[in-house]
Structure 1
Amino acid sequence: MKVLVTGGTGVVGRAAVNELLRAGHSVRLLSRGAEEDARQWAEGVEPYAGSVSSDEAVLGAANGCDAVLHVAGIVAENPPESTFQAVNVDGTRRLAREAKRAGVRRFVYVSSLGAEGGRSGYHKSKYAAELAVREVAPPGWLIVRPGNVYGPGDEVISLLLKMVRTLPAIPLVGSGDQPFQPMWVDDLGLALARAVERDSPVETVVELAGTETTTMRGLIELMSRMTDLNPVLIPVPEFLARMGTQAMDAAGLGFPIKPDQLTMLEEGNLIPEGGVNGLTEVFGVTPTPLAEGIGKLADTLPEQLPSEGTGDLHRQRYWADIRGSTMSAGELFRMVQTEFYQLAPEPLMKVGVEPGTQTGIHVGATLTLSIPMRGHIQVRCVDIDDDTITLVTLEGHPLSGAIRFDVTEEGPGLLRFEVRSFTRSGGLIDHLGMRTVGKVAQRATWRSVVEAVVERSGGTAEDGVHEEESTLTGQAATDVEQWVEEVVMRFRRSQSPAQGEGRPGQS
């Protein structure tokens, strides 16, 4: 079966595409940058450049497709470029008409739990879009209303985890006891794949949520136990929280929680008492326990690339030429992989600081580090070749970029160990921090790592540790950005599911 998917690169859409591929289906990905977006999957995803912004941009997108899964939407407006009416309502109407014109047998629209009767502008637009689906979609339509969904890069629970890891104190809206039922994104992805491929239920609404009820306070307490951190919780009255977010929003400061999201938080996010939870009762998905899901989230935050940072792109090199090593280049390389956690200077950087987190370096490994005044941060190994390890920073790290470890033979009896970093500040606050103590700490950390490798090699570096720093601009900066993006894209493709491979643990 071929399925047209919108919003396929978002948190929910990506999970749905993965599950459709696992089930053996093929996907046509509709987005403005479809050619680039589709590259993160190794197979089974056909790019289709377009959007739901106009009749012309969507015409023909559903040709030859058996079903349409419409996930795309916005949770906050940015007028006049994007509004709830233009994207969530009019865009849905256009896509439903396109599905009917192309004769698809199934149209699945992803709405939101609380859409019917919700007071937020977002919920009102999702309900208006539901009415449009009922009016113009082909006969096989289905509306699903998921509640709060968490997964790598989501705008609420991922953000909360980063706050727990990096802040000494966290504000709570009100008492922090508003109940909701969070759902792990892969569970929703599986439910959506099943909704698309099945013929029933039809022309109705199905509500989906996790099976455990928690609160923001409860989540923070769970995350605190998992990270071995204990930030102070500061209750903020709801009216003050609303005034603060509105003021920052109006000032263009990009506060991560918008006024509409506060309204949705106040309204709650629960399946009504006596209601049917379609996750388990309609689509037969075994839900991921909340603690397990948060554990997965803790290891799967998205990569933070150099192109996503702030300010100049900096290249730093630290290296030593080692004579008399008792290890070969390969042995020294493997030692760096397996014992990196022992090489880092503990006062400046401790590796594996959270219970059960990884300490060795292999492709796909996510290392959790502790650094002074920044809390817990993460890097991920995305590539290892014969003599080079490439790590990239993850969301929440003060730097956006890549770090390379190289072990090379420079001549008879001469080895070189080198650390290279290509980074920008992760944000404005991080930019200010890196210009002061951050830069000093970074330099001390990598010099210490090089010195530790020399010591562990059994040899000596007569010239000591060399260092070099430069600012990359123009084509040099572009080349680094493209190199990191290509390495990360190859990694993502290697992790993407193959068509028909199935999902472990689900029937």
Structure 2
Amino acid sequence: MASNLDTLVTVFGGSGFLGRSVVRALAKRDYRIRVAVRRPELAGHLQPLGRVGQIHAVQANLRYPASVEAAMRDSHVAINLVGILTEGGAQTFDAVQGSGAGAVASAANAAGARMVHVSAIGADENSPSGYGRSKAAGEKAVLSAVPSATILRPSIMFGPEDQFTNRFAALATISPVLPLIGGGLTRLQPVYVGDVATAIADAVDGKTKAGATYELGGQEVLTMREIIEFILATIERKRMLVSLPFGLAKLQALLLQFAPGALKLTPDQVELLRSDNVVSDAAKAAGLTLEGLGITADSLEAIAPQYLWRFRRTGQFAHRGA
């Protein structure tokens, strides 16, 4: 049987939040890893995750199919992690998450490689959100080119470098009021980035069903309000929570879409919050979940305090009840 050392895995978007966890998981399993990113000179932080020469960064941009084909040369498996939360310039949802995903799948097909594609639970061709529609278009393009591809749809991911828990914690340090869009009633199933990376590595190992779509959610289903209350308790800050109807939130987002950092909010993100982001009953019944892969999900409560302490007034030296 061939060793994983003989298997070259090309990870598109491997330098980002999910990417570094995926590269770490693959390196531990002895795969050779080619990280295809727009700026390979900014991917140096991945090198310590593997042995000398195990991880190699190359340039590729999903909007340029020739660069994608070059990155796939001699590769056995393609993993597509490329995604954007907001649009900017040529980086549109359709270009990156729709036709971009199709470009990776076409290159994988031409190379005779297997394909693992990371989408999102919000993927739906009828979604009111451009993000959700482009994710659905990407899935369709991938399965059209590589019918045996494994598609993984995580719920919202959390972890040390996330743009989710860190964002609300950062917002709480600069604002006395936090908005609850739609009353904070949207249900989410936050999933630890390390668990999603394990599922991706399992797919590379061949443990997933060909052509199947998996939905990956964490231990608990929580409302947006419950998540924000948990973050505030963790960073030991009291803030006023104010309900903001969707219509008003969308108007506010028209102004905040150009704001920096944690303040940024786009109308498309408001649309996404109109729908719950949880694992479907159909996926559970079919065993197309983390549990179905034999992965026990880590909880938000177990992981988030390990990195959110930096948002406390006195950081790691804070005392409970002080």
Please say whether Structure 1 and Structure 2 have the same fold, judged by a TM-score greater than 0.5.
yes
Map 1:23-172 → 2, pairs under 5 A: 23-42=29-48, 43=51, 44-79=54-89, 81-104=90-113, 106-116=114-124, 117-137=126-146, 139-172=147-180
CA deviation after TM superposition for structure 1 residue 266, in Å: 1.2
When structure 1 is superposed on structure 2, of 155-164 and 22-31 the one drifting more is: 155-164
- What are the Cα deviations for residues 64-104 of structure 1, in whole angstroms up to 9, with x where unaligned? 2221110012222123x211221111111111111111111
The one of 282, 307, 311 aligned to 1:297 = 307
Sort the Cα spacing of 1:136 and 1:352 in 2 relative to 1 into closer, same or farther, 3 A: closer
User: Matched residue of 1:175: which SS?
Assistant: helix
Sort the Cα spacing of 1:140 and 1:275 in 2 relative to 1 into closer, same or farther, 3 A: closer
More helix by share: 2
More strand by share: 1
CA deviation after TM superposition for structure 1 residue 278, in Å: 3.7
- What are the Cα deviations for residues 229-268 of structure 1, in whole angstroms up to 9, with x where unaligned? 211112222211110101333xx33442211111111111
Question: Structure 2 unaligned runs (5+)?
Answer: 1-6
User: Matched residue of 2:72: which SS?
Assistant: coil
CA distance in 1, matches of 2:105, 2:282: 31
Say which one has the larger Rg: 1
Q: Which residue of 2 aligns with 1:253?
A: 259
The answer on whether the counterparts of 1:245 and 1:258 sit within 8 Å (CA) in structure 2 is yes
CA distance in 2, matches of 1:275, 1:57: 35
CA deviation after TM superposition for structure 1 residue 273, in Å: 3.3
Q: Which residue of 1 aligns with 2:201?
A: 193
- What are the Cα deviations for residues 419-475 of structure 1, in whole angstroms up to 9, with x where unaligned? xxxxxxxxxxxxxxxxxxxxxxxxxxxxxxxxxxxxxxxxxxxxxxxxxxxxxxxxx
2:13 aligned partner, one-letter code? G
Sort the Cα spacing of 1:351 and 1:29 in 2 relative to 1 into closer, same or farther, 3 A: closer
User: Matched residue of 1:275: which SS?
Assistant: helix
2:43 aligned partner, one-letter code? D
User: Matched residue of 2:290: which SS?
Assistant: helix
CA distance in 2, matches of 1:159, 1:11: 14
Map 1:324-335 → 2, pairs under 5 A: none
The one of 236, 240, 247 aligned to 1:232 = 240
Q: Which residue of 2 aligns with 1:386?
A: none
The answer on whether the counterparts of 1:140 and 1:199 sit within 8 Å (CA) in structure 2 is no
CA deviation after TM superposition for structure 1 residue 39, in Å: 4.3
Sort the Cα spacing of 1:351 and 1:280 in 2 relative to 1 into closer, same or farther, 3 A: closer
CA deviation after TM superposition for structure 1 residue 355, in Å: 4.1
CA deviation after TM superposition for structure 1 residue 188, in Å: 0.8
Sort the Cα spacing of 1:90 and 1:351 in 2 relative to 1 into closer, same or farther, 3 A: closer
User: Matched residue of 1:8: which SS?
Assistant: coil
Q: Which residue of 2 aligns with 1:217?
A: 225
Question: Structure 1 unaligned runs (5+)?
Answer: 302-348, 357-369, 371-507
- What are the Cα deviations for residues 16-75 of structure 1, in whole angstroms up to 9, with x where unaligned? 111111222121000122143144322321111222121222222112222111001222
User: Matched residue of 2:15: which SS?
Assistant: coil
- What are the Cα deviations for residues 353-383 of structure 1, in whole angstroms up to 9, with x where unaligned? 4348xxxxxxxxxxxxx9xxxxxxxxxxxxx
The answer on whether the counterparts of 2:46 and 2:55 sit within 8 Å (CA) in structure 1 is no
The one of 275, 281, 293 aligned to 1:273 = 281
Matched, 1:21 2:27: yes
CA distance in 2, matches of 1:77, 1:37: 22
Number of residue pairs aligned between Structure 1 and Structure 2: 305
The answer on whether the counterparts of 1:164 and 1:220 sit within 8 Å (CA) in structure 2 is no
Sort the Cα spacing of 1:218 and 1:28 in 2 relative to 1 into closer, same or farther, 3 A: same
CA distance in 2, matches of 1:74, 1:113: 15
Q: Which residue of 2 aligns with 1:184?
A: 192
The answer on whether the counterparts of 1:31 and 1:49 sit within 8 Å (CA) in structure 2 is yes
CA deviation after TM superposition for structure 1 residue 299, in Å: 5.1
CA deviation after TM superposition for structure 1 residue 216, in Å: 1.9
- What are the Cα deviations for residues 396-423 of structure 1, in whole angstroms up to 9, with x where unaligned? xxxxxxxxxxxxxxxxxxxxxxxxxxxx
- What are the Cα deviations for residues 123-164 of structure 1, in whole angstroms up to 9, with x where unaligned? 101111111111112x53111111111123322222012223
TM-align CA RMSD: 2.2
User: Matched residue of 2:297: which SS?
Assistant: coil
CA distance in 1, matches of 2:13, 2:208: 23
- What are the Cα deviations for residues 202-253 of structure 1, in whole angstroms up to 9, with x where unaligned? 012111111201122111221232222211112222211110101333xx33
CA deviation after TM superposition for structure 1 residue 279, in Å: 4.0
| TM-score normalised by structure 1 residue count | 0.57
CA distance in 2, matches of 1:38, 1:29: 11
CA deviation after TM superposition for structure 1 residue 3, in Å: 0.8
